[in-house]
Amino acid sequence: MRDRPVVPVKPAVRRTTIAVDVVVLSPRVDALAVLLIRAPIGARERWSLPWDAPQGGEGLEEAAARITGAVLGASPAFFEQVGTLCDGRRHPGDADVSVGIAALSPAGDGAPVEDAEWFPLASLPAIAPRHRTIVDRAAAVVRQRVDQSPLAFRLLPPTFTLSDLQGVYELLLGRRLHKASFRRALQASYLVEPTDEWRSEGRGRPAQLFRYAPKKRRGARRGVRFDLFTE
């Protein structure tokens, strides 16, 4: 940083190869799952993330929607970029640049095509190093933003019980939450509204169904949080 000589930059674009790599996440039996596709014979790894290049005139999230639709039959309504990579790590299509995108899909939506399968986030098979990085980033981003973005609601059907919702939060955060506290905080947030439907799920009292319906509330936030944790 010591007074480096000022080199005038003559900026110019550069031709490279690019890929959109999609981490489709969905809550499966008690764990978040990622959708992988079987790689062609001869590839270094047997599985990979769904990916493709954006087509002409197509935005990145649009491309992610197309790719997901092709593999899952349903297209999630929520995407979030988790970082763009341009490093030495290997990509299955040898793209120079990879745009990582997380796609959130409710539990019941769509079904994987023949060569695709859900894998619990915690026990993935071997995938290309760059895909590994993208999956890890997607998990980190989702965990980090869960309380600032309506991520959890995108992993649930349009109506859900509060226990469902709490379950998703517990999946994302990786820890148990206290029922009464969770509900009180949710109440105060005006993020959901009750429907007049109830769901009976076998044993136990039936639960009321809610829907995501955030009320306008201007950000009159309080002091600083310093929620920074050094691992």
Residues 53 to 82: which contact a second copy by CB under 8 A? 53-55, 57-60, 67, 69-71, 73-75, 77, 81
Footprint of DNA on 179-198 (CB under 7 A): 179-181, 183-185, 188, 198
* Residue among 81, 149, 159, 163 that touches DNA (CB under 7 A): 163
Please state the closest distance from residue 231 (CB atom) to a second copy, in A.
Answer: 8
Q: Do the beta carbons of residue 157 and residue 74 sit within 8 Å?
A: no
Nearest Cα to 179, choosing from 190, 170, 192?
170
Burial label for 15, CB within 10 Å (0-12, 13-18, 19+), is: exposed
* Residue among 117, 124, 136, 186 that touches a second copy (CB under 8 A): 186
Asked if residue 175 binds DNA (CB under 7 A), the reply is no
Nearest Cα to 166, choosing from 114, 210, 205?
210
Name the amino acid, one letter, at 38: R
Among a second copy, DNA, none, residue 176 binds (CB under 5-8 Å by kind): none
CA distance 99 to 102: 10
Nearer to DNA, 11 or 202 (CB): 202
CA distances from 64 to 101, 163, 200 (A): 7, 30, 36
Q: How many residues contact a second copy, by CB under 8 A?
A: 82
Among a second copy, DNA, none, residue 129 binds (CB under 5-8 Å by kind): none
Which residues 6+ apart lie within 8 Å of 137 measured at CB? 82, 83, 100
Given the rule CB under 7 A, which residues bind DNA?
Answer: 161-163, 178-181, 183-185, 188, 198, 200-208, 222-223, 225
